[in-house]
Amino acid sequence: MSYLTDLGYLALGSRLRRLNDRLAREGTQVYDTLGIHFEIRWFPVFHLLGQRGPSAVMEIADTLELTHPAIIEIADKLSDRGLLTSRKDDKDRRRRLLALTPKGKRLTEQLQPVWRAFERCGREVARGGGNDLLEAIESVEAALDRLPLHDRIVDRLQPKRVRTQK
């Protein structure tokens, strides 16, 4: 039992981050072992472009729930490696459409079985002991949607107020 474990729900954030780091490290190792130069942070963008075809920066950012500077950074890297190109949208010249190059498309093909293995093994690991990590995350998100943690805590500490103002 580590100190963090003892802290229980007080260290939920640390635990989430630690698990995330661990999964990221192991994911990175998989591509390394397979000798494929691919970074795990590229995955959502790559997957999206493979599925939807050319997409604008903000469109991708909104879909993946990241900010647009993050997408631009990933796009620049992918572009450097010749996996992605971009062009101005003729209908709306503010928008820049990102698309996979033929090389990028070949890589998505090559990665299909790898991603399937990630999915299977992720499921295998995330389920166990009567708890499903993904379901647990979803139920926490749903609980927070009903009433944010902030309100729960402040209401508990200041029970006089009927409702806390935003």
Q: What residues numbered 68-97 form the site for DNA, per CB under 7 A?
A: 68-70, 72-74, 86, 89, 92-97
Single residue of 76, 89, 92, 141 touching its own copies by CB under 8 A: 141
Q: Which of 42, 49, 154, 162 binds its own copies (CB under 8 A)?
A: 154
Crossing angle for the helix pair 68-80 and 43-52, to the nearest 10 degrees: 80
The single-letter code of the amino acid at 66 is L
Instruction: Tell me the residue length of the chain.
Output: 166
Instruction: Report the C-alpha gap between 58 and 68 in whole angstroms.
Output: 6
Binding to DNA by residue 21, rule CB under 7 A?
yes
- Name the one range near DNA by CB under 7 A: 4-12, 30-38, 54-62, 134-142: 54-62
Residue 11 touches which of its own copies, DNA, none (Cβ within 5-8 Å per kind)? its own copies
Quick one: 52 or 127, whose CB is closer to DNA?
Answer: 52
Give, for 128, the enclosing helix (H) or strand (E).
strand 127-128
Q: CA-to-CA distance for 100 and 54, rounded, in angstroms?
A: 7
